[in-house]
Structure 1
Amino acid sequence: MARTVLITGVSRHLGGACARRLSREESVERIIGVDVVPPRHGIGRAEFVRADIRSPLITRILTDNEVDTVVHMSVIATPAASGGRASQKEINVIGTMQLLAACQKAESLERLVVKSTAAVYGSSPKDPAMFKEEYSARRLPGGGWGRDSVEVEGYVRGFARRRPDVGITMLRFANVIGPRVRTAMTDLFSLPAVPLPLGYDARLQFVHEDDVADALTLAVTGPDVGTVNIAGDGIITASQAANIAGRPFISVPKPGAGLVSGMLQRVGMIDTGPDQLDLLTFGRGLDTTRMREEMGFEPRYTTRTAFESFAATLTHRRFFLGTAVRPSWMATEVAERAISAMDITGKKD
Structure 2
Amino acid sequence: MKIVVTGASGNVGLGVLRAFAADSEDHSVVGICRRPPDPVAPFDAVTWHACDLGSDDAPDVLDEAMADADAVVHLAWMFQPIRQGQRLHRTNYKGTVAVLEAARRARVPHVVHGSSIAAYAPAGEHPVDETWPTTGVPGSVYGCGKVEVEAMLRRFAAQNPDIAVAVIRPTLVAQRAASASFLALFFDPVVPQWSIRLLRDGKVPLLPLPHGLEVQLVHADDVGDAVLRIVQRRATGAFNLAADTLDAAGLAALVQARAVELPGIVMRSAVGVLWRLRLVGLSPGWFDVGTRSPLVDTSRARAELGWAPRKNSTDCAREQLAGLADAAPGPSAALRRDRLKDAGTARLT
The aligned residue for residue 80 of structure 2 is: 79
Deviation per CA, 1:17-69, whole angstroms, max 9, x where unpaired? 32233233353442111111222564141111111222354433444432231
Aligned residue for 2:7? 9
Q: Which residue of 2 aligns with 1:208?
A: 219
Cα distance in 2, alignment partners of residues 85 and 190 from structure 1: 30
Aligned to 1:112: 111
Counterpart in 1 of 2:35?
A: 37
Name the aligned partner's letter for residue 13 of structure 1: N
CA distance in 2 between counterparts of 1:274 and 1:267 reads 13
Alignment check: 8 A CA contact 1:75 1:149 kept: no
Question: Of 309, 312, 316, which aligns to 1:306?
Answer: 316
- What CA distance in whole angstroms lies between the structure 2 residues aligned with 1:105 and 1:305? 42
* Among 268, 278, 284, the residue aligned to 2:288: 278
Q: How many residues align?
A: 307
Amino acid at match of 1:68: D
Deviation for aligned residue 1:227: 0.5
Instruction: Name the SS of the counterpart of 1:98 in structure 2.
Output: helix
Contact kept? 1:205, 1:284, Cα under 8 Å:
no
In 2, distance between residues paired with 1:315 and 1:35? 28
Does the 8 Å contact 1:116/1:171 carry over to 2?
Answer: yes
Runs of 5+ consecutive residues of structure 2 not aligned to the other structure: 328-349
3-state SS in 2 of match to 1:180: helix
Residues 137, 288 of structure 2: 8 Å contact kept? no
In structure 2, distance between residues paired with 1:206 and 1:68? 30
Q: Matches of 1:154 and 1:160 in 2, distance apart?
A: 10
1:134 deviates by 0.8
The separation in 1 between residues aligned to 2:281 and 2:225, in whole angstroms, is 26
Matches within 5 A, 1:87-102: 87-102=87-102
SS of 1:205 mapped into structure 2: strand
CA RMSD of aligned residues (A): 3.3
Cα distance between partner residues in 2 of 1:5 and 1:35: 14
Partner residue of 2:245 out of 221, 224, 235: 235
| TM norm structure 1 | 0.75
Structure 1 counterpart of 2:330: none
Change in Cα spacing, 1:270 to 1:250, as seen in structure 2 (3 Å) is: farther
Structure number with the higher helix fraction is 2
Q: Choose from 149, 153, 157 the match for 2:154.
A: 157
Matches within 5 A, 1:267-346: 270-282=280-292, 284-313=294-323
> Which is greater in Rg?
1
Q: Deviations over 1:58-94 (max 9, x none)?
A: 4334444322311101123x314x8854423321122
Is the Cα–Cα contact under 8 Å of residues 74 and 92 in structure 1 kept in the other structure? yes
| Contact kept? 2:12, 2:173, Cα under 8 Å | no
Contact 2:140 2:286 in 1 (8 A): no
CA distance in 1, matches of 2:252, 2:293: 15
For the pair 1:167 / 2:164, whether they are aligned, the reply is yes
Q: Give the equivalent residue in structure 2 for 1:27.
A: 25
**2:138 alignment partner in structure 1:** 141
User: Counterpart of 1:49 in 2: which secondary structure?
Assistant: strand
Query: Is the 1:203–1:282 Cα contact (8 Å) retained in structure 2?
Result: no
- Report the identity percentage: 24
Higher relative contact order (CA 8 A, sep 6+): 2
Kept in 1, the 8 Å contact 2:4–2:29? The answer is yes
Q: What CA distance in whole angstroms lies between the structure 2 residues aligned with 1:137 and 1:163?
A: 21
Query: Contact (CA 8 Å) 2:15, 2:222: kept in 1 or not?
Result: no
